[in-house]
Amino acid sequence: MSLPAPDASWTPARWRGRPAAQQPDWPDPAALEASLDELRRQPPLVFAGEARDLTEVLGEVAEGRGFVLHAGDCAESFEAFSADAIRDKLKVILQMAIALTYGSGVPTVKLGRIAGQFAKPRSSPTEVRDGVELPSFRGDLVNDLTFEAGARVPDPDRLLRAYHQSASTLNLLRAFTKGGFADLSRVHQWNQEFVATSREGRRYELLAGEIDRALRFMAACGIDLEAELQLRQVDFYTSHEALVLGYEEALTRRDSLTGDWYDCSAHLLWIGDRTRQLDGAHVDFLAGVENPVGVKLGPSTTPDDAVALCEALNPRRRPGRLMLVSRMGADRIEEHLPPLLDAVAATGHPVVWACDPMHGNTFAHSSGYKTRHFDDVMREIRSFFGLCGSAGVWPGGVHVELTGEDVTECLGGSEAVNDDELEKRYETMCDPRLNARQSLDLAFQVAELLRH
């Protein structure tokens, strides 16, 4: 079968001619254009070669030889920006990756929702509180969370602030992952105090002890551990939802080596469940860049939609180019996912199937907080593994919202966050995140599912 040639009529601005859902109502077009011009002059945040490396490792995942841990904040914040918060998030992701890799024997691809995850799609364009109606908060890329009319006006200066915060976040992540912090001989140091005292923390300590012994054994066999970069450094990739397309367009550059277009705002970009319309601007935009891309699929996705998205986003069927992320909810996945798995499998499209067990399980708690229950999260993941198994499809990854901090945003887990505790440390800007203990618990359970 001959595969279609790349679409030569595509340009980074072509999306402007298509319906674009969820775009901010920028009040001052000239100010917006000035910010976008400034962004166009900024250096890329990631390089095309790195995005190609990620495509390659995701290609391995698509073949069943790896597993993606896609994790980070629902929304990054200007306010809660600190080196410690980045370090702690990285710690829990590294811990989870250790639990996953050690437990399953399969390499773990570490993909952060970080260094660019600043824009949020909203179910409603406005928010009403005590009879006052204001535009919804759309993420720090666009407006301010404070419930005041002025704060909710989209401000294009925020595009630049988000770019610069992404650059410094990425800089620190590169330093941590390549400069010694992620060295396997430091596994114990990733276990934070409040995690170490929990059941998962103790389980992690045992595992870290085994890794120590294995490293000593290798050294005793004469292997020069200092020389093994694989043990001393970690490949960590970044991603965010490509939602505000002006921002993404301004950071899209032609690779000097291949002549191909890359969205250099992150290694992987994804399309949300609310913006995956086939004739829409988001699909058109991501169809033209060469980065690996993801698409979230909620319960309204039909098998034809899933197949058409594969055709639109990966017409040349490159393994590792496309990740489909099921986010059905624990009560709906058994009904809605199997037809999608079967339809895509029947086409032979090489996709990475991942499970986001968070966004279909959000509910409003009686206390007023938006939350999720750890049991629902695990129930959806178990169903995902079972359904993939029945369909003969490799379960390629999990996509979770988490933080390295000791927050009380999601209910349950082994050291359970109880109903009356949500208010204690509910700090998220948007959706409720797993805390570090719940995250590690999830990783151990997923490792067991992978092993079987």
In this chain, which residue has its C-beta nearest to ligand PEP? 272
Supply angle C-alpha 221, 227, 232, rounded to 5: 105
Nearest approach, Cβ of 204 to ligand PEP (angstroms)? Answer: 27
Which strand (E) or helix (H) includes residue 250? helix 245-250
Structure tokens, 401: 């919202």
Q: Output 241 or 405, the one with its CB closest to ligand PEP.
A: 241
Nearest to 443 by CA among 101, 193, 57: 101
Q: Which of 72, 2, 68, 3 is nearest to 320 (CA)?
A: 68
Query: In 3-state terms, what secondary structure has residue 406?
Result: coil
Beta bridge partners of 373: 411
From candidates 48, 62, 69, 74, binder to ligand PEP by CB under 6 A:
74
* 327 makes contact with ligand PEP (CB under 6 A): yes
Among 240, 296, 321, 373, binds ligand PEP (CB under 6 A): 296
Nearer to ligand PEP, 91 or 296 (CB): 296
Q: Which of 107, 121, 303, 339 binds ligand PEP (CB under 6 A)?
A: 121
Q: How far, in Å, CA of 98 to CA of 73, rounded? A: 20
Q: Give residue for tokens 């055709």.
A: 311
| Contact code string over 422-451 relative to Co ion, x by CB under 5 A | ---------x--------------------
The nearer residue to Co ion, 76 or 249, going by C-beta atoms, is 76
| Least distance to ligand PEP, CB of residue 432, Å | 11
- Written as six digits, the tokens of 273 are 């469940």
Q: How far is the CB of 254 from ligand PEP (least distance, A)?
A: 29
Burial of 338 (0-12, 13-18, 19+ CB in 10 A): middle
Question: 345: helix, coil or strand?
Answer: helix
The Cα–Cα gap between 197 and 80 comes to 26
**Binding string to ligand PEP for residues 251 to 290, with x set by CB under 6 A, is what?**
---------------------xxx----------------
The one of ligand PEP, Co ion, none whose footprint includes residue 76, by CB under 5 to 8 A per kind, is: none
Which residue ranges make up the site for ligand PEP (CB under 6 A)? 74, 121, 241, 272-274, 296, 327, 356, 359
Which residue ranges make up the site for Co ion (CB under 5 A)? 74, 431
